[in-house]
Amino acid sequence: MNPKNKLVLLLTFLVLTISCKDEVRKEKNMAPDNFFLEEITIPDLQQAYKNGDYTIKEVVQAYLDRIDAIDQNGPELHAVIQVNPDAIQIAEALDKEMQEGKSRGPLHGVPVLLKDNIDTHDKMETTAGSRALKGSHPLQDSWVAKKLRDAGAVIIGKANLSEWANFRSSMSSSGWSGLGGQTKNPYVLDRNPCGSSSGSAVGVSANLSMFAIGTETNGSIVCPSSANGVVGIKPTVGLVSRAGVIPISFSQDIPGPIARSVRDAAICLGAMTGVDASDSKTLKSKGKFHTDYTVFLKKDGLKGKRIGLYTVPLGKHYKVDTLMNRAVKFLKSQGVKVVKIDQIGSKDAGNYSFNVMLYEYKDGLNKYFASLGENAPVKNLDDLIAFNEKDSIELMYFNQKYLIMAREKGDLDSEEYKNALEKMHKGMREEGIDKVMDEYKLDAIIAPTGGPAWKTDHINGDAFHVGSSSPAAIAGYPNITVPMGFVDDMPVGISFFGRAWSEPVLLEIAYAYETANPWRRVPEFKLTD
């Protein structure tokens, strides 16, 4: 055959092949492939900057383009509620610093998404996903936003969430908000992303950002991290300031990092710690926080450890049990002594926690609205409830039961509140995690973080089957989730939790487990399983 004809045939074949792949991708609603930053780690990105492979501007633009291609179009994940119009300008300024030989540290030029209940004083709004806060611009950065900016991170956008961090309605669907719509799970699009930090976890898993910040009151970091195949750290309450975070519970709320690896999450955590006079809980962290948690990452971190297996979440999903049994077998193979723990703390602690949350929610929301100044879209909890009743979208799927219940509570001087707070902490601290760990001389406790994600259902709401977040959440203690494997196409995580301020030992254990068990898998954006 004539060489010229061969070339024509080859080119025709390539065009048809690419076209075919595009049609298949379109049919399956899959994302464009060949993203040059896919699964890149923070250390690798820093090395690429040093080598001159990329500029910060190029990296930020690439993530913004990917958000446009995948989140707003393509699979339409609805993980990002808004992008930062100043992101490129910020990137250019950070590039200039690097050209001058300056670096702010390991997060210099690293793109991040913030859950949209974390204040930023810029052109972006902070809304908690609510149409009632559309157009709301806080008067100053949150502690978290400021610390990340100072560290050189580029806030490229705000992540969608379960509206009001999933403490608005009964029978709600995680990942839905009036402003952002329904966030989708990137592994199988009709599956739920869990919440309330839905967009933060999906954004990281789908490679829309290098890392993200979520917040947790009970499960809101660890559950979406598990359901979307990423690492999430729920720190000890007080390790990271909540100043500028739209609140639920003063006693349980805490921001934390979500990333694709334990190392990346540890890097992010170190950038956010510190004592903040505007959050009294952080005063207890003095002498206990670290600015570099990577020093605790050791491949032999399981050596000589005693770990409790929290058995309450087991027996509810045999496929999850299978993954957990495999994880336990691995731990034992590394010389870990595994002790079964059938109960942690008082069975009434959850009821006390719920009551505390209602009181603190009312107090916290009213104080937050006041912090917005005279231009606040809503002035108090009454205004918010009234807005929702009149809005055409806010109550389309779900009610506002918890807002109404919170409104009916008294102030924080109430004896009912004080009693519930005391019994909640005693039941899950002194008589809970601390007691169990002392009795069995444990370094940490493990459990399956959750089950495989359920199909999103706006009629019946969420369908939780397995969960283990409550002991650490109610106590205000740390919890780290790491991918443990897959049930069919859906990821499932393993949780490592323990005493207050025990992030170093939990990171040591979680890193050693992850290093030997790299279960993280890139999502394929399947339409259904």
Which stretches within 185-342 are classed as H helix?
A: 198-205, 222-227, 262-272, 318-333
Which pLDDT score, from 0 to 100, does residue 32 have? Answer: 58
481 contacts 232 by C-beta, under 8 angstroms: yes
Q: What pLDDT does residue 8 have?
A: 41
pLDDT at 1: 52
**Is-contact 450 494, C-beta < 8 A?**
no
| Distance in angstroms (rounded) separating the CA atoms of residues 514 and 504 | 15
CA angle 206, 212, 214 (to 5 degrees): 115
Q: How far apart are CA 267 and CA 42, in angstroms?
A: 8
pLDDT digits (tens, 9 = 90+) for 334-365: 999 999 999 999 999 999 999 999 999 999 99
| DSSP symbols for 56-116 | HHHHHHHHHHHIIIIIISTT----EEEE-TTHHHHHHHHHHHHHTT---STTTT-EEEEET
Residues tagged active-site:
115, 196, 220
* pLDDT value for 68: 97
pLDDT in tens, 246-279: 999 999 999 999 999 999 999 999 999 999 999 9
Burial class of residue 91, CB neighbours in 10 A (0-12, 13-18, 19+):
buried
Neighbours of 457 (CB within 10 A): 14
CATH topology of domain 42-355+414-516: Amidase signature (AS) enzymes (3.90.1300)
Q: What is the pLDDT of residue 34?
A: 82
pLDDT for position 12: 42
Closest to 250 (Cα-Cα) out of 292, 224, 282, 221: 282
Residue 528: per-residue pLDDT: 85
| Closest CA relative to residue 165, chosen from 391, 371, 388, 357 | 357
What is the full per-residue pLDDT of the chain (529 aa) written as tens digits? 554 454 444 444 344 443 444 444 444 444 556 899 999 999 999 999 999 999 999 999 999 999 999 999 999 999 999 999 999 999 999 999 999 999 999 999 999 999 999 999 999 999 999 999 999 999 999 999 999 999 999 999 999 999 999 999 999 999 999 999 999 999 999 999 999 999 999 999 999 999 999 999 999 999 999 999 999 999 999 999 999 999 999 999 999 999 999 999 999 999 999 999 999 999 999 999 999 999 999 999 999 999 999 999 999 999 999 999 999 999 999 999 999 999 999 999 999 999 999 999 999 999 999 999 999 999 999 999 999 999 999 999 999 999 999 999 999 999 999 999 999 999 999 999 999 999 999 999 999 999 999 999 999 999 999 999 999 999 999 999 999 999 999 999 999 999 999 999 999 999 999 999 999 999 999 998 6
